[in-house]
Amino acid sequence: MRDAALDVPLLEAEGLAKSFGGITALEEVSLSVRAGEVMCVLGDNGAGKSTLIKTLSGVHLPDRGRLRIEGQEVRLTSPREARAHGIATVYQDLAMVPLLSIARNFFLGAEPTKGVWPFRRFDMRTADTIVRAELEKMGIRVRDTSEPVGTLSGGERQSVAIARAVYFGARVLILDEPTSALGVKQAGVVLRYILQARSRGCGVILVTHNPHHAWLIGDRFTLVNRGRSLGTFSKEQLSREELVRQMAGGQELEELSHELGEAVRVSSG
């Protein structure tokens, strides 16, 4: 059931470039994501992934290049503006205030209120009901939404952050290394939520250096190296082994394995 609207990308970046002082973080990166699609951005440390995320989510303005949302060119000057356009970003480790309650975290920056100023107040009851329902939908059960977020596991925390973004009407979800700090089981929990967000019609940009996780849920893959995108591949165009090899640095890895082999031989001999 494909209609024409699906072919216009929700978010499209073309030739993004950004440098700080004399240091070039992004030289030329292009990518796009459609509704109901997981686009994986893969790159090693220092490839420019975090600058890319910040440029897509309104933290940085690109020096060059264009951003289009549903075909319309936009300039995102703040995270707030990006959010208004339906772009939500979940940062690794930076998504939550650990000592603050789950409900308060969920609504941070977008608290529901009742009453008129100066008596306008944070509507805790509504917040609590909504958080409970949203987490239930994602299969997270919490005893008490007034518990500090710090009492949740890493995977649950990431999931709450994703649930929050989806709830606030994100159409494009940018995820920064959502599984990198997690064990296998926890990572699985998060990957399932990502698929759930996709099936709700979100376009997901998953930024990661883990090709195994990317391969499990990605529809298309954009490889980034030293601030340049090396092209976008669909799942059919790229085998898992090829993806892993690309990510591991291909040639460099072979050299490294050769070198380590030598070292082992020398030390054991």
Partner 1 sequence: MRKLLNRPEFGAVGGTAAIWLFFAFYAGGSGFLTWPGTASYLEIASELGILAAAVSLLMIAGEFDLSVGSTIAATGMTISLLCERLGWSLWAAIAAAGVLALGVGFLNGLVVVRTRLPSFIVTLGTLFILSGSTIGVTRLVTGRTQVGGLHEALHYGAAETLFASRIGGFSVSIFWWLALTALTAWVLLRTRFGNWIFGAGGAPDAARNLGVPVARVKIALFMTTALAAWFVATSQAIKFTGTDVLRGTGKELEAILAAVIGGTLLTGGYGSVIGAGFGALIFGMVQQGIVFSGIDSDWYKVFLGAMLITAVLVNSYVRGKVMEARR
Residue ranges that bind partner 1, judged by CB under 8 A: 57, 59, 79-80, 83, 89, 91, 94-100, 104, 107-111, 113, 120-122, 124, 147-148, 150-153
- How far is Cα 195 from Cα 151, in angstroms, rounded to an integer? 25
User: Is the separation of the CB atoms in 151 and 102 below 8 Å?
Assistant: no
Beta carbon nearer to partner 1, 153 or 234: 153
Cβ 105 to partner 1, closest distance in Å? 8
Q: What's the min distance (Å) between Cβ of 146 and partner 1?
A: 8
Q: How far is the CB of 240 from partner 1 (least distance, A)?
A: 33
Closest approach of partner 1 to the CB of residue 156, in Å: 11
Looking at the Cβ atoms of 142 and 223, the one nearer to partner 1 is 142
- CB nearer to partner 1: pick between 25 and 142: 142
CB of 45 to partner 1, least distance (A): 19
Q: Which is nearer to partner 1, 92 or 222 (CB)?
A: 92
| 3-state DSSP percent of the chain in helix, strand and coil, to 5 | 40, 25, 35
**Closest C-alpha among 232, 228, 180 to residue 48:** 228
Q: Of the two residues 96 and 223, which places its CB atom closer to partner 1 in the complex?
A: 96
Lookup: tokens for 1: 């059931």
- Taking alpha carbons only, the member of 104, 213, 100 closest to residue 149 is 100
Sequence-ordered list of residues with C-beta below 8 angstroms from that of 220, at least 6 positions apart, any chain: 37, 38, 39, 40, 232, 233, 234, 235
